[in-house]
């Protein structure tokens, strides 16, 4: 059974805090992605990584950074959380030469 | 650049009606993959189907069917005899060659009324 696991389902953080969202996949996939989803805006790509220690900016990278030290783990970092980063965050793992694309359960982050 | 357009934003049907969700894509790549996902209220994105650009065969899985037409750059999804449990947001997505972005449409909210 394929699995993409995000560390938290719900998270509440204070403005200015450093926030880590973790994503782990067990499919040996090369590519991993972080999206945020907001009403009316669909899924927007924040960052993606196609190999260990490699990262590429997506469409809305401002205010975020990422880390991929191991193939199975892709972390999204909010350096200083702000209220406009309150959102649903979704991690995706893609492999099999782009034939497999699975998502984690999502993390609903609220910044107060 | 690649793009996925889901022109319909919200669709409401009565149970047992058939409904078609439209998806139009743009890409310059000759090799690409198209996906459909379902997002129920719980929020998780559930994989429904994948189709590669070299396979234009239509696919049927129970009440679900997909029509892929390269000539019109469309990958439409039909639910036959809809049920209340089909109520969800449905996303179409595209990924071209290696080390590329997975690009989504804006999603279609389907409501199936009893």
> What's the pLDDT tens digit per position in B9-65?
999 999 999 999 999 999 999 889 999 999 998 888 999 998 889 888 888 889 999
| Token reading at B24 | 């139009």
Contact B99 A42 (CB under 8 A): no
Contact A98 B95 (CB under 8 A): yes
Cβ atoms A2, A21 nearer than 8 A: no
Which residues share a beta bridge with A13?
Answer: A111
How many Å apart are CA B67 and CA B110, to the nearest integer? 18
pLDDT at residue A1 in the model: 66
Which pLDDT value is given to residue A2?
Answer: 62
Handedness of CA A78, A6, A87, A30 (dihedral sign): positive
Identify the band that residue A41 occupies on the pLDDT scale cut at 50, 70 and 90: confident
The SS3 assignment for A83 reads helix
A47 φ, ψ (degrees, to nearest 5): -150, 155
The string of pLDDT tens digits covering residues A62-112 is 999 999 999 999 999 999 999 999 999 999 998 877 677 899 999 999 999
Residue with tokens 């439209």: B22
CA distance A72 to B55: 30
CA angle, A100 as apex, B6 and B76 as ends, to 5°?
25
Count of Cβ atoms closer than 10 Å to residue A4 Cβ: 24
Average pLDDT, chain A: 93
- Contact criterion met (CB below 8 Å) for B4 and B103: yes
CB atoms within 10 A of CB A9: 13
**B 28-67 residues with CB < 8 A to A:** 33, 35, 37, 42-45, 47, 50, 52
- DSSP helix/strand/coil, A8: coil
Residue A79, min C-alpha distance to chain B (Å) = 24
More confident call, A97 vs A44: A44
């Amino acid at each position: 059974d394929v699995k993409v696991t995000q560390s938290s389902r719900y998270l509440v953080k204070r403005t200015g805090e450093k926030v880590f969202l973790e994503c782990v996949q067990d499919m040996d996939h090369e590519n991993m992605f972080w999206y945020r989803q907001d009403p009316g805006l669909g899924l927007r790509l924040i960052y993606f990584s196609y190999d260990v220690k490699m990262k590429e900016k997506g469409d809305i990278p401002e205010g975020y950074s990422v880390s991929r030290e191991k193939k199975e783990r892709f972390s999204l970092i909010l350096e200083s959380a702000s209220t406009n980063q309150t959102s649903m965050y979704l991690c995706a793992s893609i492999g099999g030469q782009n034939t497999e694309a699975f998502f984690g359960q999502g993390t609903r982050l609220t910044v107060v | 650049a690649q793009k996925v357009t889901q022109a319909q934003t919200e669709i409401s049907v009565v149970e047992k009606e058939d409904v078609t969700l439209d998806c139009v894509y743009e890409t310059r790549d000759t090799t690409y993959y198209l996906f459909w996902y379902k997002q129920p209220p719980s929020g998780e994105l559930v994989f429904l189907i994948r189709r590669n650009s070299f396979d234009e065969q239509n696919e049927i899985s129970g009440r679900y069917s997909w029509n892929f037409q390269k000539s019109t750059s469309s990958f439409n999804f039909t639910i036959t005899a809809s049920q209340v449990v089909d109520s969800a947001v449905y996303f179409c997505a595209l990924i071209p060659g290696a080390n590329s972005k997975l690009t989504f449409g804006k999603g279609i909210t389907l409501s199936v009324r009893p």
